[in-house]
Amino acid sequence: MIGRKYCNVVESEAVPPGLRDVAARAGVSIKTVSNVVNGYVHVAPDTRARVQAAIEALGYVPNPAARQLRGGRSGVIALAVSELQAPYFAELAGLIVQAAESRHWTVLIDQTDGRADRERDLLAGLRRLAIDGLIFSPSALSGEEAVASGGPPAVLLGARAGPGLADHVAIDDRAAGADATRHLCELGRNRIAVIGVPDDSPRGAAAARRRLAG
């Protein structure tokens, strides 16, 4: 009886085409392929056409991670707020995503629940990620703590951010309270109530508006 010898055949995954393959097919340098892929204008039309034809024939797809590494940017920013179900933060998140999309950025959104430990963990975690920037509305932490934690460049939102610590977006809460009260007074109202300021919250937007309006 003739013995049979069996062997296992392992199929290797096909390696996707790279810049070198496109350059070889188009008969140009790797630098020229890179210029075409990145949209640089100083490429002759016929050369650009050959490179584009080679890209289509090979099915070459640029590696976004490699491009981001070369450019020093990830194209990702983070948004951290206390509660996404709140109408203010929900609308804010939607508008930020729209603005980021127009610039081809991705937005990572996280909810801290207004807890100091969650805010600290989030800030610490972002230092380990390739994040280009952070939009942060601190609720439990002060602006000083948020900035002192290091990490990516940050834009702080809200009354707790504190002036002069970083780029800061907020309204003038005292002026808002004064404007609301002044408007009612001009309408002839002289018995004005303030609703929505907890007794144990001496800081924050609502408290600031009440102090000036009182």
Q: Which of 21-25, 35-39, 65-69, 79-83 has the lowest mean pLDDT?
A: 65-69
How buried is residue 78: exposed, middle or buried, by Cβ count under 10 Å (0-12/13-18/19+)?
A: buried
Lowest mean pLDDT among 4-18, 70-84, 123-137: 4-18
Q: What average pLDDT does the chain have? A: 79
Conformational region of residue 27, where left means phi above 0, alpha means psi within -120 to 50, and beta covers everything else: left
User: If you write DSSP's letter for every residue of the chain in order, what string do you get?
Assistant: ---------PPPPPPPP-HHHHHHHHTS-HHHHHHHHTT-S-S-HHHHHHHHHHHHHHT----HHHHHHHHT--SEEEEEES-TTSHHHHHHHHHHHHHHHTTT-EEEEEE-TT-HHHHHHHHHHHTTS--SEEEE--SSS-HHHHHHT--S-EEEESGGG-TTSSEEE---HHHHHHHHHHHHHHTT-------S--TT--SSHHHHHHHHH-
Q: Say what the pLDDT of residue 87 is.
A: 92
Per-residue model confidence (pLDDT) at position 6: 46
Instruction: Output the pTM of the full model.
Output: 0.58
pLDDT, average across residues 38-54: 86
